[in-house]
Structure 1
């Protein structure tokens, strides 16, 4: 995966729209599915049961309908997930999907970070390529997400890696990174 420049304003705007739309549709669909499931499958009883006191009806309802409401929430999550999966490659989602992919790769690297750092200190070019991508991608994502607290730490790690690369006499950039390189470190 190659790092690409992202327009921060467009990314934040689209991300906020997606978050609001996801939460809103989750709420509406959960209520809709829950209501439909309750109306179709809840044990309503006969007409005489409707004439019970309001207190009896309120006491009986939570126990009987919780599972229908829960299934409604799960169905709403599935529908929202399917919609997001369907539109993930659209122009509107370009930046959001890119950031999501980069964060997945960062997670894969993080799981093996100790081994990769040790290999880089031992002069392994592959490890240095992975770390170069990892630190540059972290800087990019942190800036996009306004996570400025740890930026200086990442910049220090990046500088230490650049010094190590220079000492090794190698020419390494994040452009050389490929996801398959991570599998080298088990």
Structure 2
């Protein structure tokens, strides 16, 4: 006979247990770096999903779009440095220079600390 239902119950119980453990120890000091990277990747993913609209608005001088793109580039740079993935840093530097040029044309000052996820709702 098949033991599919027992396997499914085992997977479900294990998944619930792991989720509970991760949630319980999320604030523990040894998880600080892991949680930081999870949150950074989550924020970058939200921006990436809206990047086409952000770039279009950024070309028109929308300060919020430029700020979100700037945050994405800065976050990507940090993430790639943490992963020791320096292969694409030159391409990122070119994109960041182009972004700063557009920001200067529209007299927009970009500061990563000014970014808030709520600005993505308009795109």
Does 2:85 align with 1:138?
Answer: no
Q: Which position in structure 2 is the counterpart of 1:124? A: 62
Compute the RMSD of aligned alpha carbons.
Answer: 1.3
Q: Say if 1:132 and 1:158, in contact at 8 Å, map to a contact too.
A: yes
- From 35, 51, 64, give the equivalent of 1:97: 35
Q: Say if 1:128 and 1:161, in contact at 8 Å, map to a contact too.
A: yes
Provide the C-alpha distance between the structure 2 equivalents of 1:110 and 1:168, rounded to a whole number of angstroms. Answer: 23
Q: Say if 1:139 and 1:155, in contact at 8 Å, map to a contact too.
A: no
Provide the C-alpha distance between the structure 2 equivalents of 1:105 and 1:133, rounded to a whole number of angstroms. Answer: 9
TM-score of the superposed pair, with normalisation by structure 2:
0.92
Q: Which position in structure 2 is the counterpart of 1:114? A: 52
1:74 Cα deviation from its structure 2 partner:
2.1
In structure 2, stretches of 5+ residues that fail to align are none
Over alpha carbons, which structure has the higher Rg?
1
Displaced runs of 4+ in structure 1, greater than 3 A?
none
Q: Which position in structure 1 is the counterpart of 2:113? A: 175
1:69 Cα deviation from its structure 2 partner:
2.2
Provide the C-alpha distance between the structure 2 equivalents of 1:145 and 1:76, rounded to a whole number of angstroms. Answer: 29
Does 2:20 align with 1:82?
Answer: yes
Does 2:6 align with 1:68?
Answer: yes
In structure 1, stretches of 5+ residues that fail to align are 1-59
